[in-house]
Amino acid sequence: MGKDIAINGDSAVALAWKQIDPDVCAAYPITPQTIIVERFAEYVADGEVSTEFVCVESEHSALTLCVTSSSAGARTFTATASQGLAYMWEMLPIAASMRVPLMMAVANRAVSGPIDIHNDHGDVMSARDCGWISIFAENVQEAYDMSIIAPRIAEHHDVQLPVLVNLDGFILTHAIERITALEEDVVKKFVGEFKPLYPLLDVKHPISHNLMDGPLFYFPHKYQMVLAMNKVPKIAKDVFGEFEKISGRKYNIVEQYRCEDAECIAIVLGSAFGTMKEAIDQMRKEGKKVGVAMPRIFRPWPVEELAKLMKGKKAVIVMDKHLSVGAYGPMFPEVVAAALEDERMPKMYNYIYGLGGADTMVSDFISIFKDVEAGKGKRVNYLGVKE
């Protein structure tokens, strides 16, 4: 199964990349992602991988190069954070519409302004509708594991879409945790050889990418992406199952903790899932029937899994680490839409928290459940802010 090592989240992602040995990596440094590409560049310089590493002048150039590289039939990886992802934005929907299955690690960080280098989910949420698969990690082990799993999902010939692997900035990227790494030959066998469906530089089967569509073809083109995205859940379940066999670690589309008999549940993303588990354990000791869940895969949105999870619950608390100014947190309306699958909807509460890296303690999460139980929760709440 491999050996235990102490490693931070960024280095764990770089280790997974090393074991996969992609054909091309192009990236530009930005806090808190920089360690990923620094460490991977060391592997390249030391001859431990055969990857063509390209130092570009900007994040926009990085993703542009990655799109062309992947189109040409090369397994391609990149990484970024915050303003870097924002600078890539023009190329995000292009990458998805060109159906290039490249992999990007995102060290989630607040988006300016004001300038803030700490963690929230403003970067990935701003990119959520661009057509990329989006996967979240709770801890360093999962950041490593998801980096190995992601290419298998993205490169499946029924999918062929790019994928984001999200790990919370500093909380995971710079935190040293113990993980169990797999042996390199096991990882290589699991991920397999990259077999592109339509390589651009195949002279025997020449094709064109990213041409002008116009109204007659643009909509059908986008709908093809919808159909591909709809196939992700089943493929992801199969890949999760295969990964469990080689690692002993089980993953689900939506992770659940003590939700079976819970009357009130919270839904969170990323590292807060672990903090919320401790809050749940403490409240369970007081006899409170509470639970917490995390959508492992955020795109495609896991409607069926969440609808099943919320069925029969009295209340659902949606924790958003980003806000849509003038509306709700970005995850809240989607959770509500999933709850509509049941005729008897639970009471729905939205809590905005942790923006710009604001500390959120176990005690804060406990107070949320107590407020909801006491009827003090509003439709939208801003945790830690004087309203």
Last residue of a domain, one of 246, 278, 306: 246
| Tens-place pLDDT, residues 246-302 | 999 999 999 999 999 999 999 999 999 999 999 999 999 999 999 999 999 999 999
Dihedral of CA 29/107/61/152: which sign?
positive
**pLDDT over 70 at 91, yes or no:** yes
- Verify that 283 and 367 share a domain, yes or no: yes
Asked whether the beta carbons of 356 and 301 are under 8 A apart, the reply is no
Last residue of a domain, one of 246, 274, 305: 246
- Verify that 273 and 291 share a domain, yes or no: yes
Query: Which whole number is the average pLDDT over 140-156?
Result: 98
Q: Which residues contact 257 (CB under 8 A, 6 or more apart)?
A: 273, 276, 277, 280, 291, 292, 293
Phi/psi at 372 (5° precision): -65, -40
State which residues form the domain around 294: 255-382
**pLDDT over 90 at 2, yes or no:** no
pTM: 0.97
Domain presence at residue 68: yes
- Verify that 267 and 133 share a domain, yes or no: no
Domain presence at residue 387: no
- The first and second tokens of residue 43, run together, are 């592997």
pLDDT (0 to 100) of residue 1: 63
**How far apart, in Å, are the Cα atoms of 310 and each of 256, 282, 291, 321?**
11, 22, 11, 21
Amino acid identity at 183: E
- Verify that 192 and 270 share a domain, yes or no: no
- Verify that 33 and 62 share a domain, yes or no: yes
Number of domains in the chain: 2
- Verify that 220 and 282 share a domain, yes or no: no
Domain presence at residue 241: yes
pLDDT (0 to 100) of residue 294: 98
Query: Which whole number is the average pLDDT over 317-345?
Result: 95
DSSP string, 258-281: S-TT-SEEEE--TTHHHHHHHHHH
- Verify that 188 and 283 share a domain, yes or no: no
The CATH number given to whatever domain includes residue 199 is 3.40.50.970
Average pLDDT of the chain to the nearest whole number: 96
| 295 cis-preceded (ω within 30 degrees of 0) | no
- Verify that 264 and 365 share a domain, yes or no: yes
The CATH number given to whatever domain includes residue 306 is 3.40.50.920
Angle between helices 9-20 and 184-191 (to 10 degrees): 70
- Verify that 226 and 268 share a domain, yes or no: no
Domain presence at residue 320: yes
- Verify that 48 and 143 share a domain, yes or no: yes
- The first and second tokens of residue 159, run together, are 């999918």
Q: How many CB atoms lie within 10 A of CB 46?
A: 9
